[in-house]
Amino acid sequence: MSSTGMSAPTPCMVPSATIARIFHDVAFKKKDTKITAPAVLLSGEYIRLFVQEAVLRANEQRLADLSSGLANGEEPKKDDLGDEENDEEDFDFDEEEDDHRGLGVSTQIEVDVPPMDVLEARHLAAVSGLLLMDF
């Protein structure tokens, strides 16, 4: 806090010059239209809040997907779908066919990787409609 009792302003995520340029190139119809510095700063704060809210909502969506077993694009298990019949036949490779691949060395590393804790674009896409309506 400063000596006047007010907290320091949060730094803007987007430079003021960029925001002013966007207004000038996209929003203003007349080339000689001006925008004040406080208006640019307020717009920057609005952008910061929008991005922060988008990340928070997308993270909530990610956590919901994680708890429902749909983490990071995993397919739902057959048990989760209520379909216990196996309509597809399992295909087994013969061990003899492995000899034709070259010295019996696998070209793929088989690792049991746990689901990653990653926020993805699909999480943001899932919340984008309501996010835009709220802002």
What local confidence, expressed as pLDDT, does residue 20 receive?
Answer: 94
pLDDT surpassing 80 at residue 4: no
Residue whose C-alpha is closest to residue 108's, from 93, 119, 91: 93
Closest CA to 35 of 24, 47, 46, 48: 24
pLDDT recorded at residue 73: 53
With 50 as the cut, is the pLDDT of residue 2 above it?
no
Give the predicted TM-score (pTM) of the model.
Answer: 0.57
Neighbours of 87 (CB within 10 A): 6
Write the CA distances from 81 to 46, 73, 118, 126, integer angstroms. Answer: 42, 16, 25, 21
135/132 Cα distance (integer angstroms): 5
DSSP character at residue 73: G
Q: Is the pLDDT of residue 81 over 50?
A: no
Q: Which structure tokens are listed for 24?
A: 């000038």
Q: Dihedral of CA 46/52/53/55: which sign?
A: positive
Question: How far, in Å, CA of 50 to CA of 131, rounded?
Answer: 8
The pLDDT tens digits of the residues spanning 56-78 come to 999 999 999 888 876 555 554 55
The string of pLDDT tens digits covering residues 86-130 is 555 555 555 555 555 555 555 666 655 556 688 899 999 999 999
DSSP H stretches of helix in the chain: 16-22, 37-67, 78-81, 95-98, 121-134
At 65, which amino acid appears?
D
